[in-house]
Amino acid sequence: MATRSPDRSFRSLAGLERTASTSRVLNLAAVATLNVGDPEYESSPFFKAATLNGAVIIKHRLRSDEQYIFDRSKKISTKVIIPFERTDLSLGGRSLFVGQRGWTELLNQLRGNQDDEARDIALLEALDELPSLDPFLLREHLRRRDFKIANCYFAISQGDLDRMQRFVSSEISKLVDLAYGNKDGKANSNISKLVSLLLSGQDDQRLEPLRLTLGLEGENFREGIFSWKGFLYYKWVLTSLWPELREVIAELTEIKVVGPRDYEMLNQVKDVGGRVNQAILGQVRKVRATLQVYDDAFAELTQQSNPMAFRNFLLKSPEMFLSLGERTGMVSHIASFWRYRFPKGRPPTIELDELFDILQDFHQGLAADDEVKSPAESALLDSNAQPIGKAVG
């Protein structure tokens, strides 16, 4: 289990010691460095075992030669890496996948003690349920599972939270009138209350009018509401992500290679770079198409006063949410990693072999997402009479 092999995960992460996370990576070692002496960090750590609290957690797209360690086939797994040296990830470390055969026994070897073992295992299983490690969804999901974890682990600025709240308010204002009415001109108050309740992640009797409007019960309502929040979150993310992705696409064609040149590899880099650009555009189209399914169902509810289409969407949304999260998480990771590696204001320069590694990593992740949709997504897409998705521009 302890290796120093040239794992692509470590090559991709070797420069991330100073950053806490992307949508695909949660660097707990960096969080520890940034929050030394913080009382909340000390009292509410992510993991109870100190070794795990210095881990790097990755949403890892499984290769064909990694499938054999699982009892069932899967595309994405949660990888836990305990670095040999927290400040130099390129040195490698010990790792395991959540859900691989015998993973709890391997985890016990990595943890180093038996205190709160069940809690740390449950937390890793909760992480494995998510399609990505987007901090907003991560925070909401773990709150639903009653994990008390310091806010410093979720890198969400107050400004982003405020913008998210305003975005959700504008999205659901029509629903408030339908579910709660607009008595005595209190629509704005009702919108604010409903948004706060939806984002709180907690069961509340004040959501009962919404539940009755949608005709959902118990766990179907709770899971549907969480997935709905996920759709709203990813819709909001895409509004800011697309301009960043356009910059990445432009810089891929402008980047300057420095150092030794192998012209055969240079041609390969140009080829892979072009395919990465096209794959990014394809992923954005798929994300927009899935979000359009939500938009159409929501329009049926709010414009036609027909709750059945949206109810059907909520029942199917947990399954669709996974593919939406994987696709959005992949392109979000590309944008954030690229900007970290090539900060604004500096001419983008890189040696050829590193550029090849980065593009290969991007391409493998994007290419692994084939055209097969989940049954729920296919059913809802096929049931739409009108065309879905918008041209990327």
Tens digits of residue pLDDT in 356-384: 888 888 888 787 665 444 444 444 444 43
For residue 375 the two structure tokens come to 């049954």
Question: Hey, CA dihedral for 263, 269, 274, 275, is it positive or negative?
Answer: positive
Give per-residue pLDDT as tens, 157-177. 777 777 877 887 777 776 766
Q: What is the pLDDT of residue 292?
A: 93
Name the nearest CA neighbour of 7 among 47, 66, 51, 54: 66
For residue 279 the two structure tokens come to 């794959």
Length of the chain, please? 393
Name the nearest CA neighbour of 62 among 89, 25, 100: 100
Most confident of 27-36, 76-85, 119-128: 119-128
Tell me the mean pLDDT in the region 118-127: 94
- CA dist 185 and 200 (Å) reads 25
Q: What is the pLDDT of residue 2?
A: 38
pLDDT at 315 over 60: yes
Give per-residue pLDDT as tens, 216-250. 888 888 888 888 888 888 888 888 888 989 998 88
Tell me the mean pLDDT in the region 272-301: 91
For residue 338 the two structure tokens come to 């690229």
Q: What is the pLDDT of residue 1?
A: 42
- CA dist 204 and 211 (Å) reads 11
Tell me the mean pLDDT in the region 120-139: 89
Most confident of 8-22, 59-73, 93-107, 144-158: 93-107
Residue type, 118: A
**What's the distance, CA 209 to chain centroid?**
30
- CA dist 218 and 237 (Å) reads 29
Q: Which residue has the tokens 């795990």?
A: 52
Phi, psi at residue 310, to the nearest 5°?
Answer: -75, -35
Q: What is the pLDDT of residue 191?
A: 66
pLDDT at 387 over 50: no
